[in-house]
Chains A and B, each alone.
Chain A
Amino acid sequence: MLKRLKIYWIVWQTTAKYALAELLVSRWSSLIFFVGKGARFAMTLLFLLLLKQSLAGIGGYTTDQVVVFFLTYQLTDNITQMFFRGVYTFSWEVRSGELDFYLSKPLNPLFRILTGKPDFIDASFFIPTTIFSIWLISTLHLHITSVSLITYFFLLMNTFLIAAAFHIFVICIGILTTEVDNVIMLYRDATALSRFPIDVYREPLRTILFFIVPVGLMNTLPAQFLLNLKPTTTVLLSFAIGGGFFLLSLWTWRLSLRKYTSAGG
């Protein structure tokens, strides 16, 4: 088992080195991407801070609490993109037949596809934004306890499980239709809805975003627990849905592989 894990670690390290080398080849592009991400983060934060100056609260939450929801979304989105960037180029791998090489190797192809291209731009963006977020939260009027903080990090594990499941679904759609680009961006837009607390949306969208397309469980629920607010659902149910969603994505993956026809390369 340990030997197997070591192999996966070596493979990931190797692909990470290639990804870093590719990034360093196009340094100016990487810098521009970094600036663009920073601009997006800064402008949304500016909007929230302007709201804070003008309004006492939004949808039953104080503006300070809404900032925490946004920062949680930012954190999970950043980490997810850092590790799962490989999915964004998957359509090329299907069309070119590169997927056949992944399938023929004694390595889980899902691991290779999901984690094959770690994003170091997001990794370098992660550090300053996390430091800034921690500082910002320390200046806000919030009720955070050590228990709520532990529960928050515990629920973030469920967040990444659900995020992995979403990416696996995108891969499955990519295998069946070769359409990945718009699907992955649709996932990003759906998760962007959780920049604000999901329970501000109307029904039935609220229920859909919590329990069917569980972006609410990814970002809103951990933030609710962190802030000691009344949570939309329990930790147990959240993990049950997250686990079930992940198992469904693995089943869909196996089904899509059976339907896969090689490019003949």
Chain B
Amino acid sequence: MKKYWQIFSISWQNGFVYPVSVLFWRLRQFLLTFMSLTIWTVIFTGHQQAFGYTQKDMIAYVFLVGFLQSVILATVLTNLGSDIYTGQISNTLLKPINLFATLAAQDIADKLKNFGFIIVETVILFLIFKPSIVFPPLTTLLIFIFSALLGAVLLFSIMLLFGTLGFWTPDTWAPRFLFYMFIDFTAGKLYPLNIFPPLLQKILFLTPFPYLSYIQTQIFIGKYTLMETAQNIFILIAWIVTILFLFRFFWERGLKEYGALGR
């Protein structure tokens, strides 16, 4: 465990080597959430309700999902595919450490680094928009935290799966680009998914995207019954297991074909 703690510590320090880069990244996330909150504030000017939400509910929703996605969607696994394709991963494979535990330690360090900034951003947004956040009962809050952690695990699994593309192609950015495009609209960041027509909602819920942050926010604001909460968490876990299974399949196939020279 000590070596993974060292990896965590080094990753944490590495995250601040280029502080301007971090600052710009956080500024971008802040702008996105700010835009969403502003637009919804304007939409509700002159309207009591829209899509079954009051202004208070919608602002609370956008505020929460912005906070949640900033933590869940932060990842260091974006370079895994290119590390595999270029052979850089050989260094890690040869060492007496578990690659996935290493990646997990690095990811946790990155998320915690982002979490620190998110607190500051949240305070600023809170002072500007003054959302009415009603904390749920303790049980619901614990379920929310648990589901949020599962959301982070789901993204980690998805990024691992994308990483396996590196065994066969250098073009790993294009599928990730498509994934991020879909996440922008289907993980519920700009608007809750239940504003869509029922058929489109059904289609979206066949994908893992709503389980990254949308269902967690709905759990927090009390939109789900206990049965619906249990069902969604079960589906979330099922997605994690499925994607990890797919990852393991492609990873083992990829490793059989993998070769790296000169390292």
Q: What is the interface of chain A, defined by CB distance below 8 A to chain B?
A: 26, 28-30, 32-33, 35-37, 39-40, 43-44, 46-47, 50-51, 54-55, 57-59, 177, 179, 181-183, 185-186, 189-190, 192-193, 196, 200-202
Contacts and interface: CB of A to CB of B under 8 A. Distances in A.
Nearest to A38: B181
A55 B46 CA distance: 10
Contacts of A37: 181
B100 interface: no
Contacts of A200: 38-39, 42
A171 B25 CA distance: 18
Contact of A36 (B39, B43, B177): B177
B31 A193 contact: yes
9 contacts: A26-B171, A33-B174, A36-B178, A47-B190, A47-B195, A51-B50, A186-B24, A190-B31, A201-B38
Chain A contact surface mostly? helix
A190 B190 CA distance: 16
A50 B177 contact: no
Nearest to A47: B191
Contacts of B195: 47, 50
B196 to A, nearest CB: 7
Given A179-B18, A179-B21, A189-B31, A32 B177 contact: yes
Nearest to B46: A57
B85 to A, nearest CB: 13
Contacts of B185: 39-40, 43-44, 47
A39 B28 contact: no
Contacts of B146: none
Nearest to A25: B171
A58 B18 contact: no
Contact of A55 (B31, B43, B171, B190): B43
Given A40-B181, A179-B20, A186-B27, A29 B42 contact: no
A46 B32 CA distance: 19
Interface residues of B, number: 34
Interface in B12-41: 18, 20-21, 24-25, 27-28, 31-32, 35, 38-39
A170 to B, nearest CB: 11
Nearest to B49: A54
A23 to B, nearest CB: 11
A39 B182 contact: yes
Nearest to B29: A189
B24 A183 contact: yes
Contacts of B43: 51, 55, 58-59
Contacts of A186: 24, 27-28, 31
Interface string B176-196: 011001101110001100011
A40 B171 contact: no
Interface string B151-189: 000000000000000000001011101100110111000
Given A43-B184, A179-B18, A193-B31, 10 more contacts: A26-B171, A26-B174, A47-B185, A50-B195, A54-B50, A59-B43, A181-B21, A185-B28, A192-B35, A196-B39
Contacts of A196: 35, 39, 42
Contact of B24 (A29, A46, A179): A179
Nearest to B179: A36
A36 B181 contact: yes
A202 B18 contact: no
Nearest to B32: A189
A50 B27 contact: no
A66 to B, nearest CB: 10
Nearest to A61: B42
B139 interface: no
Contacts of B174: 26, 28-30, 32-33, 36
B204 to A, nearest CB: 11
Contacts of B24: 179, 182-183, 185-186
